[in-house]
Amino acid sequence: MENSTTVSLSTQIGRVALPVCLYNASGARCTTAQDLLALAQSGAGAVLSKSSTMQFREGNPAPRYYETTLGSINSMGLPNLGHEFYGQHAQVHAALQSGKPYIVSVSGLSLEENVSLIGFYNEAAGIDAIELNLSCPNLPGKPQTGYDFEQVQHVLDAVCPLAKQPLGVKLPPYFDIVHFEQMAAILNRYPLAFVTCINSVGNGLVIDAHTETVVIKPKNGFGGLGGDYVKPTALANVHAFYRLLRPEIGVIGCGGVKTGQDAFEHILCGAVAVQIGTQLMREDMPVFARIAYELQTIMQQKGYTRLEDFRGKLRYL
């Protein structure tokens, strides 16, 4: 890998340094101790946990994840091992000395639960940042917080004063220019280190014409879409928030990344780092080294030696 000596993929999310700008999307292979250890030993530049709740959750009934050639649909329902597990794993992660940050995803089922979780993780050693998930589309009867702008403000009013580690939010996709502007105006009022764009495109429906059925069980087959289906929406959200947010708030790209070129496009749109979901599910841990190599090759061909050489420099016609 000759090009790895001349092309750096290192990046910063606020004050958190990542040796490589690629890591897992929350939800993809990051629930169990085995998953988290495999991520620590992979080519990922950080380890991000599954979204955690206070209590262990079984999640929605299976089948709840399905892949097509164009991507994935899921309705997992936040299966996770509970906050104590992810807090304790922080010490395990630190002991591994992998040199990469450990980020915990938080998805309390209420405002009070988010406050308790952030209070708990504040005191747990070895956590480098918190990603607050405001966008799970898979909890029957619970709307996505990110689509309720007033509620987003209530949540941020409550949690921002508590957070000791760098705090970011994972947003749902927005589809209207006015919504980009309104949400960015809200986020700009808080001391956030990052926003992650985007969670899955909620409540899609994949069906099997042969069996004439839905392909996942929860919510009569409705679920969040990932993969190729969502890349243009993800790029639009990354670029809109890159332009609208204060420059101190890094945008993390997530959605449709399966090659080095996809990662390059997210960074060109303004992403400081790029998460991988559906393709990590398909390919497992080797995905990080492969995409890093492909991204380095593209950068070398273009004469770029670091991400800042092209980050956010998308040109208009």
Tell me which residues are annotated as active site: 136
Write out the binding residues for ligand SIN, residues 179-218 only, by CB under 6 A.
199-200
Write out the binding residues for ligand SIN, residues 127-186 only, by CB under 6 A.
133, 135-138
- The candidate with the shortest Cα–Cα distance to 110, out of 155, 71, 66, is 155
**How far is it, in rounded angstroms, from Cα 264 to Cα 241?**
17
Nearer to ligand SIN, 193 or 254 (CB): 254
Does residue 77 belong to the site contacting ligand SIN (CB under 6 A)?
Answer: yes
Q: Provide the residue type at 292 as one letter.
A: A
Does residue 253 belong to the site contacting ligand SIN (CB under 6 A)?
Answer: no
Residue 211 structure tokens: 């069996």
Site string for ligand SIN, 7-46 (x = CB under 6 A): --------------------x-------------------
Bridge partners (DSSP) of residue 130 are 104, 167
Write out the binding residues for ligand SIN, residues 258-287 only, by CB under 6 A.
none
Residue 175 structure tokens: 């589809």
What's the min distance (Å) between Cβ of 139 and ligand SIN? 7
**How far is it, in rounded angstroms, from Cα 100 to Cα 105?**
16
Nearer to ligand SIN, 59 or 126 (CB): 59
**How far is it, in rounded angstroms, from Cα 77 to Cα 31?**
13
Nearer to ligand SIN, 14 or 173 (CB): 173
- CA-to-CA dists, residue 259 to 3, 20, 287, 289, 290, angstroms: 17, 15, 9, 11, 8
Does residue 114 belong to the site contacting ligand SIN (CB under 6 A)?
Answer: no
Q: Note the residues at the interface with ligand SIN (CB under 6 A).
A: 27, 51, 76-78, 133, 135-138, 199-200, 224
